[in-house]
Chains A and B, each alone.
Chain A
C-alpha cells in the first residue's frame, strides 16, 4: 500500500492504525461474529479491505469531510467498520444507543446534524424514518440486515453491502481522494463523538480526538500488558465510551481480536465459546451471574452442594492471596489446587471466564462479596474509574493491589486533584476536546489548564495512594444538623444485598434519612418459590410481609455498618418503603445506563416521600408507567411504610 500515514511518532489516526495492523498482523483475526451457528472471522487485512470498500462507497454517496455519520445497532463487526470508514472519509462517527426511543434519537441526530445514518436493522431504520421530519441535515440511511426492508422506498435507503459494492467499483475513481483525506487526519482531528447518557438534562456530545483515543489505548494497554493474541467479547452498547476504547481503540493499538455475539440472548453461550482473555462487565452482570450460580447450587444434590461450600471456603480464605502472589501455606495451596480441579475450574468454564487474564468492572460500586467471589476463583477482576470525558481511564487497580472499596491508582499520564469540597479533578492526554455545540458546559467542566471536574466526591487514601469515591459531588449534601449526606454510599450498601435491586435514599437538608427500595425479582422470586409463597406480580411480592421483614433486616444491617463510619453515621435509614414498581429507564427514572435520576424520582413520587417523613403508616399512590412500545398505563397501590432500627451515632458519643 502506498499509504504514508504513520508519522515518526507512530500512527496518528484510527485509519492509520488499521493500515498498520493490516500490514503487521495481516493474517491474524481482527473481528469475529457468530452467524448461522458458526464463528465467522475476518483478518486484519480483510478488515482493512472491508472498511475501505465502505469508505469508498460513502465517498460515492457524497460524504464530505466534517460530516457526522450516526451508527445505530447491536455490536457487529460491520458497525465497527462503519466507524472506521467514517473516519477514513474525514467524517465523524457518532454511535448511538440502540435501545433509545425515536424521540431520544431525534434529539441526538438533530444535535449533531448527521447526514448519514448506518443502522443495524429494520427496527432502527423505522425509528429514524419516524423522526425524519424533525431532522434538518439528514439525508440517507444505510442498513445492514435487509430483512423486512425490501419494500421500503429506497430513494434514501441503501444496503450496506450495496454501498461496499459501489465503493469497490469506484475504487479507481475515488481511491486518490480517500488517500488524500486520510493523509489529512492527525492527532488533533476528531476520532469519534459519543453522547453521554445524561443523568441530568439532555445528552451532551463528547468530542474525542485521535490523540485522546490513541494515547489512552496505548497507555492502558501497557498498564495491563494486553497482547496481540488477546480476545474480547463486544457486547456492551456501542455508544458507550468503554466499548469504543476496548473494541476499537485498544483492539487497533494492540491488534487483538474483537468477538461479537450472535444475538443479545446468546451472549452467555458465546462467552463460553470464545473464552475472552480480557473482559469487562458492569457490576450488575457479575451480580446476576453470581445469583444464578447460587440459585443453581441451592438446587444441586447434597453432595455437590457440600463440595461447593467446602471448597468455596478454601477459595475465600486463600484464593485472593494466591492471585496476588502473596505467600500461602503448602497445605492451603494443595487444597486450592484440588478445588481448582473439582470446583473452580469447571465453574469458571461454565461462566466463560476460564481464560480471563485481565478483567475489569466499573460504573457502579461492586459488592465486596461479589468481588471477592470472583477473585477467590482465581479470576483477576479489578476495578477502574473513568468517564467519557476522560476517554475512560482515570484510575485503575494494578495487579496485586486490588480491593473492593477503592478504584485504584492514577493511570499512566493522569494527574489527580481533590478540591476543597471533595470533588475529584483530573488532567490527562485522554481529556476530551469539547462538548459539541455547547461551549458553556465545556467551560463548566474543563478549566483553562485542562483540569476536568468529574462531578464525583472522593478522597485519596494516604497509606496506599488509592482513590476512593463516595458519591456524586452534587448529591453529597448536608443533613439538617450539618453532618455529611452521601446517598449513593448508603444505596450501594443496600444494593449489595441480592434481594435489593435498586435503592434511592433521601435526606438532604432533613433531620433523618429515608429510602425507596426495589426488590430483585429473580432473587426474591426464587426465595418465594422455595418457601411456597405464591405471588402473581412484582407488586404483590414486593408488599408481602415476609419480604418486608427481610428488607427491614437488610436496612438495619446497613445502618449498623454505617454507624461505625465516623463521617457518615448520620445517613442511617430511619424509614423506608418497598416501591410498587421497578424503576425503569422507559419511565425516565433511570438513565439508559441504569443510574438513578434523583430529581425525576423526587418529583414523581413526592406523595410517598411526604409519607416517609410525616409518620403515616401507609400511603396510597397512582403511578404512570410507559410500556416498551410507548403506550402508557398506570399502577395504583398502597404501600406500607416501615421503621428501621438505627444505631447510636459513634461520632457524637466520642465527642461527649
Chain B
C-alpha cells in the first residue's frame, strides 16, 4: 500500500500524498561529535511522522536539519522535488516550514494575540515605512493577517486568553500558543519538538486532539518528536526511531513496536561501540 508513489488513503480516510521531503544519507557533526550518522528518511504530504528515541539520540538535530537551520556535512535534502541548497535564516522562514520548540520560545511580555501575529510576519509585504504610516495597503494587510490569526485562535480555543500576556499563562497554554504562532505562518510542514512534554493527562489529550485537527482541517504535514509512546503510537502514521545518531527503525507504529532493535534501545542493551 505504501509503495504507491502518489500516496494512499489511511484507514481513517485521510489522504496521504507523495513524498514531499527526502533526506538522503545525512550526516551532521558538531566538531568531533557525530549527532546524526548516515540517516535517510522521507516525509509524505499530509502525514503525521514521528521521530522517537532516547535522550541525546539526535532527534532535535534531525528536526533542525529538516527545517534547514542546520546544514549537514554529508548527504542531500530534497524538498518539493528539488535539492535544497544551504539557506540564510530568512530563507528558512520563507520556505513554508514552521516549528515549535522544546523549551518554549515565545515573547513573554507580549499578548497571545501579538505572539500569534508574529507568525504572520513572513506574509507581510509592506515595509517598515508604510507600516509606521499605517495607511492604505499596510492597514489592509494587517486586517487580513489579523483575520487569519483570529481563525487560529478560534481553532485552538484560546479566545479567553487573547489579550493576556504570555508570561501569565500556564505551561500547557504556552505550548498551545506556540502551536498557534507556528500555524499562523500557514506552513505546509509543521515541526513539533516535544509538544506534550511536561503536560498532565488532560492537557496531553487536548494537544493530541489539536494536532489531529490541524492535520485534518488544514492538511498540514506534521513531523513531531515525542517521548510519550502512547501518544506517538496513537497519532502518527509512520515512526522513525533514532538511537545514538543512527536510525534503528522506520515504519508504521505497529512495525516499530515489534522491531527488536527498537525494543533493545528502549529497554537498554549494552552498545557495541
Question: Which A residues form the contact surface with B (CB < 8 A)?
Answer: 35-38, 147-148, 150-151, 262-263, 265-266, 269
Within 8 A of A (CB), among B208-224: 213, 216-217
**Most interface-central of A37, A151, A265 (chain B CB within 10 A):** A37
Given A37-B150, A265-B160: A147 in contact with B155 (beta carbons within 8 A): yes
**Most interface-central of B146, B154, B162, B216 (chain A CB within 10 A):** B154
Given A36-B147, A37-B150, A151-B13: A263 in contact with B160 (beta carbons within 8 A): yes
Q: Does B159 contact A148, Cβ atoms closer than 8 Å? A: no
Cα distance A150–B12 when bound, in Å? 12
Give chain A residues whose Cβ lies under 8 Å from the Cβ of B216. 148, 150-151
User: What are the nearest 10 A-B pairs in CB distance?
Assistant: A265-B160, A36-B150, A37-B150, A266-B160, A151-B13, A262-B159, A266-B159, A263-B159, A36-B154, A148-B213
Give chain A residues whose Cβ lies under 8 Å from the Cβ of B146. 37
Q: Does B108 contact A (CB under 8 A)?
A: no
Q: Does A147 contact B217, Cβ atoms closer than 8 Å? A: yes
Q: Does A35 contact B154, Cβ atoms closer than 8 Å? A: yes
Q: Does B228 contact A (CB under 8 A)?
A: no
**Nearest chain A residue, comparing its CB with the CB of B153:** A37
Q: Does A151 contact B12, Cβ atoms closer than 8 Å? A: yes
Q: Does B157 contact A (CB under 8 A)?
A: yes
Number of B residues near A (Cβ < 8 Å) is: 18
Give chain B residues whose Cβ lies under 8 Å from the Cβ of A36. 147, 150-151, 153-154
Q: Does B159 contact A265, Cβ atoms closer than 8 Å? A: yes
Give chain A residues whose Cβ lies under 8 Å from the Cβ of B160. 262-263, 265-266, 269
Given A151-B12, A151-B13: A37 in contact with B159 (beta carbons within 8 A): yes
Give chain B residues whose Cβ lies under 8 Å from the Cβ of A37. 113, 146, 150, 153, 159, 162
Given A36-B147, A36-B154: A150 in contact with B217 (beta carbons within 8 A): yes
Question: Which B residues form the contact surface with A (CB < 8 A)?
Answer: 12-14, 113, 146-147, 150-151, 153-155, 157, 159-160, 162, 213, 216-217
| Known A148-B216, A262-B160; further 11 A-B contacts with Cβ < 8 A | A35-B154, A37-B113, A37-B146, A37-B153, A148-B213, A151-B12, A151-B13, A151-B216, A263-B157, A263-B159, A269-B160
**Most interface-central of A36, A148, A151, A263 (chain B CB within 10 A):** A36
Cα distance A652–B154 when bound, in Å? 65
Give chain B residues whose Cβ lies under 8 Å from the Cβ of A269. 160
Cα distance A269–B161 when bound, in Å? 10
Give chain A residues whose Cβ lies under 8 Å from the Cβ of B153. 36-37
**Nearest chain B residue, comparing its CB with the CB of A36:** B150
Cα distance A620–B36 when bound, in Å? 60
Cα distance A38–B154 when bound, in Å? 12
Give chain A residues whose Cβ lies under 8 Å from the Cβ of B155. 147
**Nearest chain A residue, comparing its CB with the CB of B154:** A36
**Nearest chain B residue, comparing its CB with the CB of A148:** B213
Cα distance A266–B161 when bound, in Å? 8
Give chain B residues whose Cβ lies under 8 Å from the Cβ of A263. 157, 159-160
Cα distance A269–B113 when bound, in Å? 15
**Nearest chain A residue, comparing its CB with the CB of B205:** A629
Give chain B residues whose Cβ lies under 8 Å from the Cβ of A266. 159-160
Give chain A residues whose Cβ lies under 8 Å from the Cβ of B162. 37
Give chain B residues whose Cβ lies under 8 Å from the Cβ of A35. 154
Cα distance A35–B153 when bound, in Å? 10
**Nearest chain B residue, comparing its CB with the CB of A145:** B154
Give chain B residues whose Cβ lies under 8 Å from the Cβ of A262. 159-160
Give chain B residues whose Cβ lies under 8 Å from the Cβ of A147. 155, 213, 217
Cα distance A263–B156 when bound, in Å? 12
**Nearest chain A residue, comparing its CB with the CB of B113:** A37
**Most interface-central of B150, B157, B160 (chain A CB within 10 A):** B160
**Nearest chain B residue, comparing its CB with the CB of A35:** B154
Cα distance A38–B12 when bound, in Å? 36
**Nearest chain B residue, comparing its CB with the CB of A151:** B13
Instruction: List 22 A-B pairs, Cβ < 8 Å.
Output: A35-B154, A36-B150, A36-B151, A36-B153, A36-B154, A37-B113, A37-B146, A37-B162, A38-B150, A147-B213, A148-B216, A150-B216, A150-B217, A151-B12, A151-B13, A151-B14, A151-B216, A262-B160, A263-B159, A263-B160, A266-B159, A266-B160
Give chain A residues whose Cβ lies under 8 Å from the Cβ of B147. 36
**Nearest chain A residue, comparing its CB with the CB of B217:** A147
Cα distance A147–B210 when bound, in Å? 11
Cα distance A36–B150 when bound, in Å? 5
A450 to chain B, nearest CB (A): 47
Cα distance A524–B153 when bound, in Å? 34
Give chain A residues whose Cβ lies under 8 Å from the Cβ of B157. 263
Cα distance A265–B161 when bound, in Å? 9
**Nearest chain A residue, comparing its CB with the CB of B148:** A36
**Nearest chain B residue, comparing its CB with the CB of A38:** B150
Give chain A residues whose Cβ lies under 8 Å from the Cβ of B159. 37, 262-263, 265-266
Give chain B residues whose Cβ lies under 8 Å from the Cβ of A150. 216-217
Cα distance A147–B147 when bound, in Å? 18
A359 to chain B, nearest CB (A): 24
Give chain A residues whose Cβ lies under 8 Å from the Cβ of B14. 151
**Nearest chain B residue, comparing its CB with the CB of A628:** B202
Cα distance A151–B216 when bound, in Å? 9
B113 to chain A, nearest CB (A): 8
**Nearest chain B residue, comparing its CB with the CB of A268:** B160
Give chain A residues whose Cβ lies under 8 Å from the Cβ of B12. 151
**Nearest chain A residue, comparing its CB with the CB of B209:** A148
Cα distance A262–B151 when bound, in Å? 13
Cα distance A269–B146 when bound, in Å? 20
B13 to chain A, nearest CB (A): 5
Cα distance A265–B147 when bound, in Å? 21
B14 to chain A, nearest CB (A): 8
Cα distance A38–B162 when bound, in Å? 12
A155 to chain B, nearest CB (A): 15
Cα distance A296–B213 when bound, in Å? 38
B116 to chain A, nearest CB (A): 11
**Most interface-central of B153, B157, B159, B216 (chain A CB within 10 A):** B159
A586 to chain B, nearest CB (A): 16
Cα distance A265–B13 when bound, in Å? 33
Cα distance A265–B153 when bound, in Å? 13
A76 to chain B, nearest CB (A): 13
A49 to chain B, nearest CB (A): 24
Cα distance A584–B14 when bound, in Å? 40
Cα distance A37–B13 when bound, in Å? 33
**Nearest chain A residue, comparing its CB with the CB of B162:** A37
A537 to chain B, nearest CB (A): 15
Give chain A residues whose Cβ lies under 8 Å from the Cβ of B217. 147, 150
Give chain B residues whose Cβ lies under 8 Å from the Cβ of A38. 150
**Nearest chain B residue, comparing its CB with the CB of A261:** B159
B191 to chain A, nearest CB (A): 23
A411 to chain B, nearest CB (A): 37
B145 to chain A, nearest CB (A): 13
